[in-house]
Amino acid sequence: GGGLESRCACHRGRAGTNPPRSGSSHRAKQEVQSTNVAVAVHSRDTVRAFKLAPRDRETIRAILADANQAPSWANTQPCEIFVGSGEPLEKLRRSFLENFHKGVPGNSDLPRPQQWPEAIDKRMRRQYASRSRYLAIDRDDQEARRAMVENNHNVFGAPTVLYLCMDSSLTPWSMHDLGMMAQSIMLAARERGVSSAIAYNLVIYPELIRNELKIPAALPIVIGIAAGYAASGDRQNRFPSARRPLA
């Protein structure tokens, strides 16, 4: 394929690791790393408005190199990652928006649930209502609600999207590994001041993505992660999502 910023990078190998250090310096480094992880976990959020300033190739590579340390069953490393940016991503953005305006329904490779368990459905409804109130969007304001959905199809204005795929012959066990890779990517990005948004709407038209990035048919496109610098003045990026309390 072409360069990382224009086409794809595949997660096939594992980056080299340094041998463990001994003594107090190693213990101190472990403590710092633990602190950094906690900060990254608590400061990571979903950004829905990005600056179009592109991320450089080396930053994306560094993020993927760190995320490459994610664990997997028997070291199978099943996740294949394709990176879209530059003109290929702009073509996808235009195609997604065109489908949105035509009312083309999404048809993701991984089918979305047709219904949710009651407790989960309530959390989703509370989240949607809270976000609408935060953005001062009335429940009857169809134009504003449509604009929110259109922003999703605009890829949140992000300059880069990482598409996570895995072989169609694999089972849900490997989906667990893919999820750990996704979280590792977002935390590694946060460490470098790069914001992210993991979203179903980024992969609702898989054939468009597959054709543009030359993704093999045997690799279902599971999820997308938008990445870039957050638009600091956009109120969407300051909405605090609630978390369920520990039992």
How confident is the model over 160-180, as a mean pLDDT? 96
Interatomic CA distance for residues 196 and 227, integer angstroms: 4
pLDDT in tens, 192-221: 989 999 999 999 999 999 999 999 999 999
pLDDT of residue 238: 77
Name the pTM for this structure. 0.82
pLDDT of residue 28: 47
Strand partners, 226: 161, 197
Answer whether residue 145 shows pLDDT above 80. yes
Answer whether residue 15 shows pLDDT above 60. no
Q: Where are the alpha helices (DSSP H) in the chain?
A: 24-43, 57-67, 86-102, 118-134, 142-153, 172-191, 206-213
Q: Which two tokens stand for residue 64?
A: 């993927």
Interatomic CA distance for residues 150 and 195, integer angstroms: 20
pLDDT in tens, 77-103: 999 999 999 999 999 999 999 999 999
How confident is the model over 59-75, as a mean pLDDT? 95
